[in-house]
A and B are shown apart, each in its own frame.
Chain A
Amino acid sequence: MKIRYFAWLRERTGTSEETIELPETVKTAGELMIWLAARDEGYAFAFEQPETIRIAVNQEHVEEDHVLSGTEEVAFFPPMTGG
């Protein structure tokens, strides 16, 4: 599945997008954040406050209990500041 990061999540992970194989133990978008945070220091820093992070699946806003199938495009980003 494709994962995209925006704003300070992109900067802290050092990645704008990547493709991963969804681990079998990861069921939801919230669990994916915990799994990503365990990767390295940059990811740990990016996901240190998961409750502040917004999630989109296939470009629609979802909550952290959203169940993943492994073929979606998932995006993580801070609260939006457009307009």
Chain B
Amino acid sequence: MSNSTTTEFTVRVQAEDFDVLAETEILAKGRKDVGAIVTFTGLCRDEGGTLEALELEHYPGMAEAQISKFAQQAVERWPLTGLTIIHRFGKIPPGDNIVLVIATSSHRRAAFEASDFLMDFLKTQAPFWKKEHLKEASEGTWVEAKAVDDADAARWDEQKTK
């Protein structure tokens, strides 16, 4: 087993949409050591037809830094061959993409776990805030953080100390 170099990763925080296939191809093209690609795409739900749009506010600079911190932990913890994380901000209508995580590895387990880990930390530690704009309301309301998201993130600490 050689583990001399750490896998590089890509982190982008942007207003524009992303292309899942194009981003996946960047990680897999021309390589023969990739045996597994896991992509997670988070989309904006319409909440039963009531939602006009989600507005995502972020802390520029800190958002990139926090995501990169957890991306670094992921490439140190799992044997990944590639990792890309893209998080959008701004006004996002139902059906549009919000977040993308792509993890590639020689075997599936590392790719699944790293993606799961990153999504848990994006939800609770990356400085983004969602405001819901409903069709029937003149003012938006801030989405409240969920305790279940904190519990999900805490799972990875428990596993670490086992």
Binding site for B on A (CB under 8 A): 4, 6-8, 10, 56, 59-61, 75, 77-83
Q: Is A81 a contact partner of B129 (Cβ separation < 8 A)?
A: yes
Nearest chain-B residue to A8 (Cβ)?
B142
Q: Is B59 a contact partner of A83 (Cβ separation < 8 A)?
A: no
Chain A to chain B contacts (Cβ below 8 Å), 20 pairs: A6-B57, A6-B59, A6-B129, A10-B57, A56-B127, A59-B65, A59-B66, A60-B62, A60-B65, A77-B127, A78-B145, A79-B144, A80-B124, A80-B128, A81-B123, A81-B145, A82-B63, A82-B127, A82-B129, A83-B87
Known: A7-B131, A8-B142, A81-B143. A56 touches B59 (CB 8 A): yes
A80-B126, A82-B127 given. 19 additional CB < 8 A pairs?
Answer: A6-B127, A6-B129, A7-B131, A8-B142, A56-B59, A59-B59, A60-B65, A77-B129, A78-B129, A78-B145, A80-B123, A80-B129, A81-B123, A81-B128, A81-B145, A82-B63, A82-B99, A83-B99, A83-B126
